[in-house]
Amino acid sequence: MTARERIAGNVAGYVDDRTGAAKWMKKNLTKVFPDHWSFLLGEICLYSFIILLASGTFLTFWFDPSQREVIYDGGYQPLSGLKMSAAYASTLHLSFEVRGGLLMRQIHHWAALIFMVGIVVHLLRVYFTGAFRKPREFNWIIGVGLLTLGIVEGFLGYSLPDDLLSGTGIRIAEAIIQALPVVGSYIAFFAFGGAFPGEAFIPRIYTVHVLLLPGIFLALITVHLMLVWYQKHTQFPGPGRTEKNVVGYPLMPIYMAKAGGFFFIVFGVTAFLGAVASINPIWLYGPYTPGQISAGSQPDWYMGWLDGLVRMSPPIETHAFGHTISWNILIPGLILPGIMFTLLALYPFIESWATGDKREHHLLDRPRNAPNRTALGAMALTFTLVGLLNGGNDIIATTFHLTINQMMWFSRIGIVVLPPIAFVITKRLCLSLQRADRELVLHGRETGRLVRLPHGEFVEVHEPLSPEKAWTLTAHEQLAPLELPEFDGAGVRRAGAIKNKIRNRISRATAVAVPKATESERRELEGHH
Amino acid sequence: MSNEIELIKDPGLPAHVHRRADDDEKYAKRAETQVSILFLLSAFGTVLTIVSYVFIPTDKFIFIPVMGETNAEQLLLGLGMAIALFCIGAGAIHWAKTLMPDNEVIAERHEFRSEDEDRAEFVKTVKAGASAAGLGRRPLIKRSLGLALGLSGLTPLLLLRDLGPLPKENLQKTSWKAGTRLVTDPGDRPIKPADLEVGAVAQTLPELAPGEERTLNNIGKDAVLLIRLRPEDFNLDAERLSWTHEGIIAFSKICSHMGCAVALYEQQTKHLLCPCHQSTFDVTRAAKVIFGPAARPLPQLAITVDADGYLVAKQPFTEPVGPSFWERSS
């Protein structure tokens, strides 16, 4: 035994005497993780969260979260002598006088964007592959919670510098609060410590941004990861992979090296963006004052779709009995997003209700093999994208020489018409892809080699698929539709007959599929050739 | 052939394909060198960071194509960091992919569900615990505890009361009174009608009494836009026309939709446009909404001139300015 081994052994022994960790570590160091590029998306979120904590802590050392009015006398000449809040002035100080300050600000902002993109793409991966199904519903809900909090956290973060652009964002947030029936103006006055903008809001959201929400994030992310660890990762279908096993590489050393390395890659890419790609140059916007604004005011992209919904809203307000209800704010700003996030959170339960499938699933679906789910996802995505597009309607209009009215009417009509079209097209596409898979399994791969037969006929040679590939393309199950009876044995309409009818219909729509190729069919075809 | 449907079978985990470095020490050696080079590059990146931090002055700007004028120190600090971090990651992954064993391993999944006995045990334990505490047998304790817990939840709510004052009349009123002079923002100079040419726009605020400070809260409610048109361009009823002066019309600059500053004036069409949500108001028709999500016109401020010939408010705003709220009556 070398000296080094002896020391390591002593340390490990010391820790294990007090924690008994060896048994747990022994088992978990060889834990198996399946490999697929799309499983890295969640990792990107985790790593950018760590980058956010580190870079954010750095920023707090110089940032002064105060709306106290100061006269700027720092290094950025164009704003010299101007009145501004201490928050804005300290952000300028960070950007121009603290070495690495601008870099850290930009890394922090880029990491926030990557965090949000990561969450959304990770969510799409989980959705389209059906990874949310039993037993992973809790983790799905935690994920939706993280997405929602991420949007809030991001908004609060870019509001902190108190520049003209972000102040305008806060103004809009205040108007949404103020629009709440009955309690709106009270809640707004409590939140802002009086009338807008006041001097209380930035210090308050600072506490929420750097303490409260990160704490909740940390707790939720921990539970999210513990559940992934405990439940083991899902895997794509393939040779040797079943619902009962998990095929991949052990944590030590492969996964440690890969995941650890990937953290540094994400951090490196974020640092590169922070170094070369200017983001949120607040000195160009100037300090916030409610009497001014800059053209082309835009939120960050993850708020953009909400802003787009607000922009396209028809001008409806109700005035009755001495009160006002602003539907033009409430519907796009609160009601629609509320419905969307609720449906998103409940989706696993809705799907299992509709299909009647209450079993555990550890093998992922290929999106084409769940046409209805995929089409629904495409529909929701289209809705959100039209909203996002309209969130940038002014920029798009000036870039492509359209009028703002054309953009707005395109969105107003598009948000109703395009999602159903996306549903239909996606569903057809999925079924066509299923058909293509069937073709491939039955007839093999097209080689592009033409052969002339003795009697003059030309045929293309097809190469049979490998057994692995053929299995991968046919490993999915095809569920039969639910047939809940409308009448019981005695011919009496059962209770809940209407509910069952709806369930039957949805279930039938879900079960539409191209029958997958079977060995029997393959053999029969071989007989013909 | 039989009628029974036979599915395609799982051929099982494919055999491990050897990498070149698995079999040939030469390739393994080469991979080792590559990994080391990546780690050394990382070290170079950190050196670059340190050198930039120490030697490049903070105010040194350099021109870089596409990026434009760029702060040299921030750029090189960042590039150094990026190289240092990225290369550690790239090295580790290359190492894992070329030199660490890549045999796929199968692990069995365990069932999450507890055994039926365990479930039954659990229920029994909970029931035993609850009955030991006497929760069911002593309703008085249960109810009074419920009351106490429920009430104690009120304390944090109560303590939050002092977050802010009650709105009272605050949202309803602005600083404008009959006779308040309109002054330029910025500059605080009073304005005579002759200062504004036809087609001109001016951002104004109410004149401050001596010793008074202007806060952002005031600006958020008091900001007013002056626009001068030819008097014949107006399409107003008699009352609203009497609120204008020699073709000068005044509107609250705070959008009636969500409170942004309505700052874009199109001289040709005489439209005011809010850059936030593109609500468009027709100046000739008392800021009637002609497009976008805003549901109400911008409130108009009645103006006239005082004895010295300066523009003043004829009366306060007749309605609340800014976005709607529950207590707003029109």
CA distance A476 to chain B (A): 11
pLDDT tens profile B15-28:
888 888 888 999 99
Give the Cβ contact number of residue B29 at 10 Å: 11
A431: left (phi over 0), alpha (psi -120 to 50) or beta: alpha
B254 with B221: CB under 8 angstroms? yes
Contacts of B48 in chain A (CB under 8 A): none
- Residue A115 tokens, joined: 């965090």
CA distance B74 to chain A (A): 6
pLDDT at B110 over 90: no
Which residue(s) pair with A246 in the sheet?
Answer: B107
pLDDT confidence bin for B1, thresholds 50/70/90: very low
pLDDT tens profile A177-198:
999 999 999 999 999 999 999 9
CA distance A315 to chain B (A): 4
What number is the average pLDDT over the span A341-368? 94
Which ranges in chain B belong to alpha helices (H)? Answer: 20-23, 25-55, 72-98, 116-133, 139-152, 154-159, 216-222, 238-242
Cα distances from B163 to residues A201, A502, B205, in angstroms, run: 10, 49, 29
Pick from B12, B109, B203: CB nearest A291: B203
User: Which residues have a Cβ under 8 Å from the Cβ of A329 and sit 6 or more positions away?
Assistant: A175, A176, A179, A310, A313, B257, B258, B323, B324
> What are the DSSP calls for A428-459, one per residue?
HHHHHHHHHHHHHHHH-EEEEEEEE-TTS-EE
Judged by DSSP in three states, A97 sits in: coil
How large a percentage of chain A has pLDDT more than 70?
A: 99
Closest-CA residue of chain B to A136: B112
What number is the average pLDDT over the span B1-28? 83
CA A228 – CA A142 distance, rounded (Å): 12
**Kind and range of the H or E element at B311?**
strand B311-313
- Residue B94 tokens, joined: 């290359």
- Residue A353 tokens, joined: 């209700």
A387 with A172: CB under 8 angstroms? no
pLDDT at B257 over 80: yes
- Residue B244 tokens, joined: 């204008």
pLDDT confidence bin for B4, thresholds 50/70/90: low
Burial label for B197, CB within 10 Å (0-12, 13-18, 19+), is: exposed
- Residue B174 tokens, joined: 């602005």
Average pLDDT value for chain A: 93
CA B296 – CA A319 distance, rounded (Å): 11
Closest-CA residue of chain A to B203: A291
**CB contact burial B120-151 (16+ within 10 A = b; e otherwise):** eeeeeeeeeeeeeeeeeeeeeeeeeeeeeeee
pLDDT at A498 over 90: no
Q: Do A268 and B75 touch (CB under 8 A)?
A: no
Judged by DSSP in three states, B192 sits in: coil
Q: Do A175 and B328 touch (CB under 8 A)?
A: no
- Residue A76 tokens, joined: 């950025």
Judged by DSSP in three states, A23 sits in: helix
Strand residues in A74-151 grouped as ranges (E) = 83-85
pLDDT at A338 over 80: yes
Cα distances from A42 to residues A34, A119, A146, A256, in angstroms, run: 14, 7, 12, 16
Burial label for B307, CB within 10 Å (0-12, 13-18, 19+), is: exposed
Closest-CA residue of chain A to B327: A323
Of A267, A236, A287, A245, whose CA–CA distance to A88 is shortest?
Answer: A287
* Residue A528 pLDDT: 62
How large a percentage of chain B has pLDDT more than 90?
A: 79
CB pairs under 8 A between A and B: 342
* Residue A499 pLDDT: 83
Cα distances from A18 to residues A4, A8, A10, A11, B300, in angstroms, run: 22, 16, 13, 11, 76
* R_g of chain B computed on alpha carbons: 37
- Residue B95 tokens, joined: 């190492």
* Residue B253 pLDDT: 96
* Residue A239 pLDDT: 93
Closest-CA residue of chain A to B290: A315
* Residue A500 pLDDT: 84
pLDDT tens profile A67-85:
999 999 988 999 999 999 9
Domains of chain A: 30-358 (1.20.810.10), 366-444+459-478+513-529 (no CATH)
B183 with B205: CB under 8 angstroms? yes
CA distance A495 to chain B (A): 32
Work out the end-to-end distance of chain A between its first and last CA atoms, rounded to an integer number of angstroms: 67
CA A403 – CA B31 distance, rounded (Å): 58
pLDDT at A521 over 90: no
Tell me the pTM: 0.94
Q: Do B74 and A103 touch (CB under 8 A)?
A: yes
A303 with B314: CB under 8 angstroms? no
Strand residues in A61-204 grouped as ranges (E) = 69-71, 83-85
- Residue A48 tokens, joined: 């950018």
pLDDT at B93 over 60: yes
pLDDT tens profile A435-472:
999 999 999 988 889 999 999 999 888 888 899 999 99
Contacts of B60 in chain A (CB under 8 A): none
Which sign, positive or negative, has the C-alpha torsion A118, A121, A126, A127? positive
Q: What is the CATH number of domain B182-313?
A: 2.102.10.10
* R_g of chain A computed on alpha carbons: 29
Block residue for tokens 């640092």 = A271
pLDDT tens profile B179-226:
999 999 888 899 999 999 999 999 999 999 888 888 999 999 999 999
pLDDT tens profile A236-281:
999 999 999 999 999 988 999 999 999 999 999 999 999 999 999 9
Which residue(s) pair with A318 in the sheet?
Answer: A325
Strand residues in A292-341 grouped as ranges (E) = 317-320, 323-326
Cα dihedral A430→A436→A438→A441 (10° resolution): -140
Strand residues in A26-118 grouped as ranges (E) = 32-33, 69-71, 83-85
**Chain B interface disruption, residue of A83, A92, A133, A178, most B CBs within 10 A:** A178
What number is the average pLDDT over the span B139-154? 93
Of A119, A45, A39, whose CA–CA distance to A364 is shortest?
Answer: A39
What number is the average pLDDT over the span A16-42? 92
pLDDT at A529 over 70: no
Residues 120-139 of A with CB under 8 A from B: 135
**Chain B interface disruption, residue of A32, A199, A264, most B CBs within 10 A:** A264
A77 with A92: CB under 8 angstroms? no
* Residue A526 pLDDT: 74
ipTM of the complex: 0.92
What number is the average pLDDT over the span B108-133? 92
Supply the DSSP symbol for A334. I
pLDDT confidence bin for A520, thresholds 50/70/90: confident
* Residue B2 pLDDT: 45
* Residue A371 pLDDT: 95
Give yes or no for a cis peptide into A299 (omega within 30° of 0): no
CA A499 – CA A401 distance, rounded (Å): 51
Q: In 3-state terms, chain B is what percent helix, strand and coil (to 5)?
A: 40, 15, 45
CA distance A176 to chain B (A): 7
* Residue B217 pLDDT: 93
* Residue A164 pLDDT: 94
* Residue B3 pLDDT: 53
Of A198, A298, A326, whose CA–CA distance to B258 is shortest?
Answer: A326
Of B208, B5, B16, B226, whose CA–CA distance to B105 is shortest?
Answer: B16
Average pLDDT value for chain B: 92
CA A65 – CA A94 distance, rounded (Å): 13
Give the Cβ contact number of residue A128 at 10 Å: 20
User: Which residues have a Cβ under 8 Å from the Cβ of B193 and sit 6 or more positions away?
Assistant: B228, B245, B246, B248, B305, B309, B311
pLDDT tens profile B39-83:
999 999 999 999 999 999 988 899 998 888 899 999 999 999 999
Q: What is the 3-state secondary structure (H, E, C) of A512-528?
A: CCCCCCCHHHHHHHHHH
Q: Do A268 and B87 touch (CB under 8 A)?
A: yes
A354 with A197: CB under 8 angstroms? no
